[in-house]
Amino acid sequence: MTRGGGALLLALVLSLPACVRGKGPTSAELSHPLVGKRGPPFGAVRVGGGAFHLAAERGHPVVVLFWATWCEPCKKAFPQLANLSEKYRDQVTIVAISEDDDPNGIEEFVATYEGKFNVVWDEGKAFAGQWQPKAMPASFLLDGAGIVRSVHLGYDDGEDAEIEKDLKTLL
């Protein structure tokens, strides 16, 4: 491999979000550039059919989760978000955006890990480019006006309680 090719490969690898376990709010979460700003709009076809448009969810809180089938902590996050989705069914919308390179395996992952909420595929990673998840899973909590109020990077035991605590402040 040439020196220029190696540098390009290193730059590409370093630009990928890491799959991490959570350990409470980090400086990256507290200083994420979207906190306090309107979440970038997006629309996509849901896994299983139908359209999802973030703009249509105004008026109540939304959790936007970036994840991937290869991400081990995402396997823990999905069932916990399903529980939150059920608990706050009429008050909160959850949408999980897959950052996989291709859609193969997404439906199986969703079925295996109880993805009982909106799931879409970020073909070409356009949404990730706008939202800038620094790790996976990455959860963005939006208020009813679509403003990002908090960001959770990674997932560890108890992270669902932290997300729920932040979510309650938005209800």
In sequence order, what DSSP letters do the residues of 44-94 get, joined into one string? EEBTTSSEEEGGGGTTS-EEEEEE-TT-HHHHHHHHHHHHHHHHTTTT-EE
Nearest Cα neighbor of 115 from 141, 92, 81 is 81
pLDDT confidence bin for 38, thresholds 50/70/90: very high
Domains in the chain: boundaries = 18-168
Rg (CA), the chain: 16
Position 31 scores a pLDDT of: 82
pTM for the full predicted model = 0.85
Q: Is pLDDT at 6 greater than 60 in this prediction? A: no
Q: How far apart are CA 34 and CA 131, in angstroms?
A: 7
- Tens digit of pLDDT for each residue in 92-127? 999 999 999 999 999 999 999 999 999 999 999 999
Bridge-based pairing of strands 18-19 and 135-136 is parallel
Are the CB atoms for 73 and 40 separated by under 8 Å? no
Which phi and psi (to 5°) does residue 160 adopt?
A: -60, -35
pLDDT confidence bin for 166, thresholds 50/70/90: very high
Identify the CATH class of 18-168.
alpha beta
Q: Is pLDDT at 43 greater than 70 in this prediction? A: yes
| Residue 37 burial (10 A CB sphere; 0-12, 13-18, 19+) | exposed
